[in-house]
Structure 1
């Protein structure tokens, strides 16, 4: 059962733990940062877990050192007196040395007792664990500690220094840069959300900003990739943050014109469809005009053919037109039949013609 627990712990550390420097290594520690508060003369404790991720057994030594932090929030160990206000002299690592076989973990207790004369403010240190294998290889991992000591001189002050984004954003995300500043004498922990609104003021995305320590004297820069809205155009990005007890909330916003790659692809498809529609419409109209022209010519030819008069009628102005299926309106018919005859003879005579002609 203990071996199964050790295997699970190793897997969790392999997935979630990064050693000092931010690169995967043979030795890991969790959590990466510890945040504690106490008063002068009072002891505060914290437990961390060290894990061996290598194929070798390590002899591990733990110690407390001074630290510095960069704008990305990465803590690095430095020589004594060259870093942030230090709490290294107040702390104890227990156990300070231990053997850590491969695939195993070790729980280490850190305790800090500030002197009674300590001025209120923020103090910082790092527990550095160095492992040495039997082959002579060395690896290390760091756990940063942020310690708040209560007192009348304690000053909490943090804010959003700037929020920026490019005026025009083309891509699958909107790159947002958020800069935080601490003007007090103790660390602050920022936490909040980022909201994206489209040109119709509708909320299209909302991202959580997790707990982010902000140390006095060093600006903290966060890079956030916000998703663009479905409709391309002007986008408003707003950040709302809280900095803990005693610090007012702060907010900032910026405007950007955002177009995603799939917006461009959709516009290209619509343009092609529109071009095909226009081409088809033009071809259809040209074909219709051509067909109408042929029909017009056919009617014109038919009119000439049907309107042709016999030579003997050309010199007269006859108001009617001869048709093969119609009898002239200006003619009369006389019919004589013989009794018992199977055939019927008809004589059509044009008499009293309005044209003044007669045909026998």
Structure 2
């Protein structure tokens, strides 16, 4: 899209949940009525194969964009990064209503500095470094379209603020990403009247439906948060299904994602940095919730109501059990604690355990 407007991408929920579809359609309708942004719709981001038209389109975007998905923002960010769609994670004011965290305008400052020629980058990110910002918004935090539209309009207004040059120049380590010469083949725009039929909207606008007719299958694979990963290799030692590998720089990566066993999050439990995300897992901490928010805590109700420390499995014990179940299902022999048990953290100084540590290591099935 070469209109100069902010691009907003709506990643559809998997399946055909009518409530979720209605919310997606309402957001698209209201954004198109506002006319401030370009709107595109792609299938569920996490399920897309590398050669899907939706990912080709995202790779072709040269500047800042907003993606709305049914994933935690951290999870969506690193799914994009895995597909070589890089950028700083933009902060949004639209967060879970249970969270009471102060928001800052650091990203707005960084964007304005960049527009003046300065280059800012997040030092912790190791994949797809770029000077642009990607705002990832979780479609589960509100049930009304107006809240999302208001936040997107705020973002669009901020990045549209004109910057007056003071005649100063700043060194730049890299140039902004350029759109490739060959863009993906995109299906013709679908009239908003069709997309917004459920809401009864009456408008002549249009929205890009990108790859929504292509068949996709539900997927299950880990995503690495490289801002947390220490490259300790615990995951590659523990996983016995060939999911992990290393690149030319001996950096851990997810090499064979479709070798991962559906529903198994064992490797995330043994990661000492909590850097492995399974975006579709039922436990918020494993699915990519930010560690600072209340959603990231795993609480064992048995301990809160009188269960002793011996009554709960540790995260490692749970991981071993999950791995053994998948080995047996594959016709292989269970290995228990004999293979791939984390050893690289042995000998490192550890702070004394407290009740919170016990809670975080507890069962998450309640």
Q: Which TM-score bucket, shorter chain as reference?
A: under 0.3
The two structures have a TM-score, normalised by structure 2, of: 0.20
Which is strand-richer, 1 or 2? 1
The two structures have a TM-score, normalised by structure 1, of: 0.20
Which is helix-richer, 1 or 2? 2
Asked which structure has the greater RCO (Cα within 8 Å, sep 6+), the reply is: 2
